[in-house]
Structure 1
Amino acid sequence: MKIKILLLVVGCIVIISFYFIYQNRSIDERTDDTYIYVSPDGSDQNDGTISSPFRTLKQAALKATAGTTVFVREGTYYESLYVEHSGTKSKPINFKNYQDEKVIISGKHLKEPKEDTALIEIHNKDYITIQGFTVEELTTSHEDATVMGINVSGTSSHITLKQNHVHSIATHVDDGNAHGIAVYGTGKMEDIQVLDNTVENLTLGASEALVLNGNINGFLIANNIVRQNNNIGIDLIGYEGTASDNDFVRNGIVENNEVYNNSSYGNPAYGDEYTAGGIYVDGGSNITIRQNKVYGNDIGIEATSEHYGKNASEIHITNNEVYDNAFTGISIGGYDEKRGGTIGSIISENIIYGNDTKGLEGGQLLLQYYVTDNRIEKNKVSASSSQIFLVNIHEKNSGNTLSHNTYLNETGEEGLWIWKDEEFNSFSSYQRSTNNDLDSKYINDK
């Protein structure tokens, strides 16, 4: 009886062992089908497994169909990555560095671009993730060429750009253009996510470090560091003729980014002008900008449209810390009468201090041309040495309300409020004459 029980137990163990061996073999076989490996030590005649990897990103992209993850091993790849296939909702395509290995995609040894060129290119593709790459050293001296670290274009949707480091992308001509990360919706785009990237040390000409432009409906730009570039940090654009329909970026969130030391001063496209916004909405709609830290730029956060008759609308600028920017902290409205404006937007619960560092009279809050039906409320505002808290320059601005703000004077001198060309050097006279900020506070901390 004991022998029969022992034989039964042994039999069960053998059956279970064969089952797990089969299962593991099946998993390995599926892994071979869904994972591709690339290494500088590989060969494109290999089969793309971890032990027999491909050599080039090009070969991996050709083989990567829906459901594939391409793992790129450590090293420098002197080539561009062109995504060849789309994924699906249930089977996306992922390109990422293997584990924590450092992967560099470099343009250093590429032929100098004479036309628009990117080191990573996604055109008319869906359900793609690009993760964990250093993208660097693509430059041009040709005026007609725009160089980009990562470019997404056409009708691409459900795209995630995550944990990449983009730097040293440059144009070397006065009228040239360059981008770190560019998303151009020439057709309809949806669900664009730009997360946890660092974009820095770019020579941009008249372009921007991180830009979404055109027919883009639904996006998230979060937890990025954008710094030390010679033009705008993050830009959300409409009405430039990028798309034939719905040519404006809309329905998105910009949150938890750190954007600093972006300035156009000395950029040949702008000369000695402080015009670069840290975060800039140029014709976008229904966009929330929240919980960002924005400092050391020319303008902290700006929302308007550069196109006459167009507007930035329903922009919610809330819970940001905006400080030490050269011209102004937060600005709405066009910079002259030939531009568009800002309507139906809210600036609330921000901490705004120490801006207007160059004494350019932009103060902490700046209302320029065509500013209509906006609310500015519950902000904490502290002036710099210019003493200017608020500037509203255009006589025709209307329907704008200011309430429940706190103005803190830390300089020992009276603050200034400029409202439609009238200057007030006391809070009470500003309240009385403009009927604004009647329930707001002015605290003299000196």
Structure 2
Amino acid sequence: MANGFEQSPQQAFYVATNGSNAGQGSATAPWKTIQYAVDTVAAGDLICVRGGVYNELVTITQSGSAQAGPILLQSVPGETAVIDGTGLPIPDGQYGLLTLIDASWITVQGLELRNYSTASTANVPIGLYVTGAGTQIRLIGNHIHDIHTTANGCAANAFGLKVDGTRAPQSINQLSIHGNEIHDLTLGCSESFSLDGNVENWEISANRVYDTNNIAIGAIGFEGIAPNPAFDQARDGAIRENTIYNISSFGNPAYGNEYAADGIYVDGGTRILIERNLVHHADIGIEVASEHAGRTSSDVIVRNNIVHSGNSAGISIGGYDSSVGGSLRVDIIGNTLFRNDQANTGSGEFQIQYHATENRFINNIVHAGTAGYLVNAFTTDSSLPVELDENLYWLDAGGQAAWVWQGVEYASLAAWRSASGQDANALFDDPEFLAPAGFDLRVQPGSPAVNTGINLGAGVVGTSDFAGNLRVMGGAIDLGAHER
């Protein structure tokens, strides 16, 4: 999916803090408020917002068009326009500093959105909010921070960026969220950045999300956001090349002292690709599950990602409890998991929970810390929750290797293989990372990971490794996220 449009703007208008809405909107007679600008321009127009602080809520209900081109709202190049929510209300109980309602052909680029907060569970502040239905929406290079709820409990919610597809069959589609920086959020029970309801054909790429107290990126379904349950899933999307770190719910009043915040969370989504992301120092690196009984996240590919130094599991599939949903047909291929479960939760590097069905875990490097848990399939609700093979396992000196199958712990690869019937071609050997102390998790030329994977086809393994190199070289594929 492209991250921009080809059309040149038909007309450029300007906004400045010292402008006047009685002016012409020109560079020499700019308008004063962003809201006046978005209400006044037409399809194909460009709104250039000069640097400065704008203490206003902005709502976009107009649309560009395929014929005339998008409406483009951006900071003047080299300057930063700041939408600051200090002291502003939260209309309708849930609103954004910048809100798009049933808008299409819109690009928002290079803005800073900050300082929007509540102390009430009745209000939900959002940095950038897209809702209703719409197409061809680009959110590029924005900086969102300091969005807070200080209320207690799981009725407290705030979001940095939120997309809700609230109509059916009309969806939010052809959506690109690229190159944004999102940080310093106090979220209660919500996500830093989420897609929910009837949202399809989307890409979340090259964003940086950090220093928040709940989930970084979520693709969600079955929450009743869309009026028709058949359309109530984020679907047919990609989460790629994002950098996510310092994500933890520990100390969040909604969770207490639980390590429950995911770097990337698919909760009821379907047909989603998660690739080439770096997630570190999160609670759970990547999780694919459903919080709704009888529902699943399905047909998800998790490939060529690096997850390290997490507090709990590196990658987790299946529902967190027997009363919720699970995961179906999730392929976890060619990832590198390194020294997760730093808080010694017992979750391990790869965790398999409830209602996991027809999943695969293949070609991964799994290097545990001294906690030692490599794979943890602790439930007994499925005789075959996942197929595992061609994985390379190792752990730090001083640890005791542990694999768990059907709730029983095994201390050797041979015992694990015998009990589970899995990992027939797995190895227990040092992957020989180049510089693990500095988290350079490429492998050395003589590593047992080199050329020992199984090529499942480009549709599964991808065409590029974590670093953008060819995923398959000379007909062979390496284990882990890097191809040598």
- TM-score (structure 2 length as normaliser): 0.84
Structure-1 separation of matches of 2:88 and 2:403: 54
- Cα shift at 1:386: 0.7
Equivalent position SS for 2:65: coil
After TM superposition, give the deviation of residue 412 of structure 1 in Å. 4.3
Residues 437 and 103 (structure 1), Cα distance of their counterparts in 2 relative to 1, 3 Å cut: same
Q: Structure 1: which 5+ residue stretches go unaligned? A: 1-29
Q: State the Cα distance separating 1:399 from its structure 2 match.
A: 5.3
Q: Which residue of 1 aligns with 2:181?
A: 198
| SS of residue paired to 1:301 | strand
Match of 1:131 among 106, 109, 117: 109
CA distance in 1, matches of 2:352, 2:264: 16
SS in 2 for 1:429: helix
Partner of 1:36: 13
Write the distance in 2 (CA, Å) between the matches of 1:286 and 1:352.
23
Q: Distance in 2 between matches of 1:167 and 1:322?
A: 24
Asked if 1:328 corresponds to 2:308, the answer is no
CA contact (8 A) 1:113 1:139 kept: no
8 Å contact kept, 2:312–2:341: yes
The offset of 1:157, in angstroms, is 2.0
Match of 2:278 among 287, 293, 297: 293
| 1:384 Cα offset (Å) | 1.2
Separation in 1, partners of 2:90, 2:166? 25
Superposition deviation, residue 318 in structure 1:
0.4
Match of 2:30 in 1: 53
2:137 to 156, 159, 170: 159
Q: Following the alignment from structure 1 to structure 2, what is the Cα–Cα distance between the partners of residues 157 and 143?
A: 32
Q: Check whether the contact 2:371–2:399 (CA below 8 A) recurs between aligned residues.
A: no
Return the alpha-carbon distance in structure 2 between the equivalents of residues 110 and 445 of structure 1: 53
Supply the distance in 2 between the matched residues of 1:109 and 1:208 (Cα, whole angstroms): 23
Q: Which residue number in structure 1 is paired with residue 65 of structure 2?
A: 88
- Contact kept, 8 Å, 1:39 with 1:56, in 2: the verdict is yes
Per-residue CA deviation, residues 62-107 of structure 1 (Å, 9 max, x unaligned), is 1121111100001100001111311112311110001120111000
Q: Map Cα deviations across residues 48-68 of structure 1 (whole Å, 9 max, x no partner).
A: 011111011111011121111
Shift of 1:114: 7.2
Preserved contact between residue 113 and residue 147 of structure 1 (Cα < 8 Å): no
- Name the structure 2 match of 1:141: 119
Partner of 2:149: 171
Amino acid at match of 2:298: S
Query: Given residue 440 of structure 1, which amino acid in structure 2 is its aligned partner?
Result: A
Greater helix content? 1
How far is 1:112 from its partner?
6.3
Structure 2 vs 1, CA of residues 44 and 444 (structure 1 numbering), >3 Å: closer, same or farther?
Answer: closer
Partner of 1:435: 421
What corresponds to 1:306 in structure 2?
291
258, 282, 287: which one pairs with 2:243?
A: 258
> Which residue identity does 1:443 align to in structure 2?
D
Moved over 3 A (4+): 111-114
1:415 equivalent in structure 2 = 401
Kindly provide the amino acid, as one letter, of the partner of residue 34 in structure 1.
Q
Contact 2:370 2:395 in 1 (8 A): no
CA distance in 2, matches of 1:266, 1:109: 26
In 2: Cα distance, 1:167 partner to 1:113 partner: 20
- Which residue matches 1:183? 163
Post-superposition Cα deviations, 1:330-349, rounded to whole Å, max 9, x if no partner, equal 00000000110101110010
Offset, 1:109:
3.5
Aligned to 2:43: 66
Which of 170, 193, 211 in structure 2 is aligned with 1:210?
193
The superposition leaves residues 289-332 of structure 1 with CA deviations (integer Å, 9 ceiling, x where unpaired) of: 00000011110000010000000001100000001111110000
Contact 1:410 1:444 in 2 (8 A): no
Q: Find the partner of 1:373 among 346, 358, 370.
A: 358
> CA offset at residue 414 of structure 1?
3.6
Higher radius of gyration, 1 or 2: 1
Q: Is the 8 A contact 1:412 1:445 kept in 2?
A: no
1:281 aligns to 2:266 (yes or no)? yes
C-alpha distance after superposition, 1:155-186 (max 9, x if no partner): 12211111000000011111311000000000
- Name the aligned partner's letter for residue 261 of structure 1: N
* Letter paired with 2:16: S
Distance 2:61 2:222 in 1: 30
Partner of residue 233 from structure 1, selected from 197, 216, 227: 216
Q: How many residues align?
A: 416
Correspondence for 2:257 among 272, 278, 283: 272
Give the superposition deviation at 1:110. Answer: 2.0
Residue 356 of structure 1: which of 338, 341, 351 is its match?
341
CA distance in 1 between counterparts of 2:178 and 2:63 reads 20
Residues 277 and 301 of structure 1 are in contact (CA less than 8 Å); yes or no, is this contact kept in structure 2?
A: yes
Opposite residue 379 of structure 2, the aligned amino acid is H
Q: What's 1:122 paired with? A: 100
SS at match of 1:281: strand
* Distance of aligned partners of 1:229 and 1:213 in 2 relative to their CA distance in 1, 3 Å threshold: same
In structure 2, give the amino acid aligned to 1:438: A
| Of 388, 392, 395, the match for 1:402 | 388
Letter in 2 for 1:273: E
Cα distance in 2 for partners of 1:225, 1:260 equals: 8
Partner amino acid, structure 2, of 1:243: A
CA deviation map 1:253-286 (0-9, x unaligned): 0000001111111111111111010100000001
| Cα distance in structure 2, aligned partners of 1:393 and 1:217 | 34
Distance in 2, Cα, partners of 1:414 & 1:359: 13
- Say whether 1:104 aligns with 2:87: no
Task: Give SS of 1:66's match.
Answer: coil
- Quick one: distance in 1 between partners of 2:391 and 2:94? 47
Which residue is equivalent to 1:244?
227
Task: Say if 1:444 and 1:150 are closer, same or farther in 2 by CA, change over 3 A.
Answer: closer
Q: Helix, strand or coil: the match of 1:62? A: helix
Provide the rounded CA distance (Å) in 2 between the counterparts of 1:41 and 1:380. Answer: 57
Question: TM-score, normalising length from structure 1?
Answer: 0.91
Contact 1:414 / 1:426 at 8 angstroms: preserved in 2? Answer: no
- Please state how far the C-alpha of 1:413 moved relative to its aligned partner: 3.9
Calculate the aligned-residue CA RMSD, in Å: 1.5
User: Residue type matched to 1:73 in 2?
Assistant: R
- Asked if the contact 1:113–1:142 (Cα under 8 Å) also holds between the matched residues in 2, the reply is no
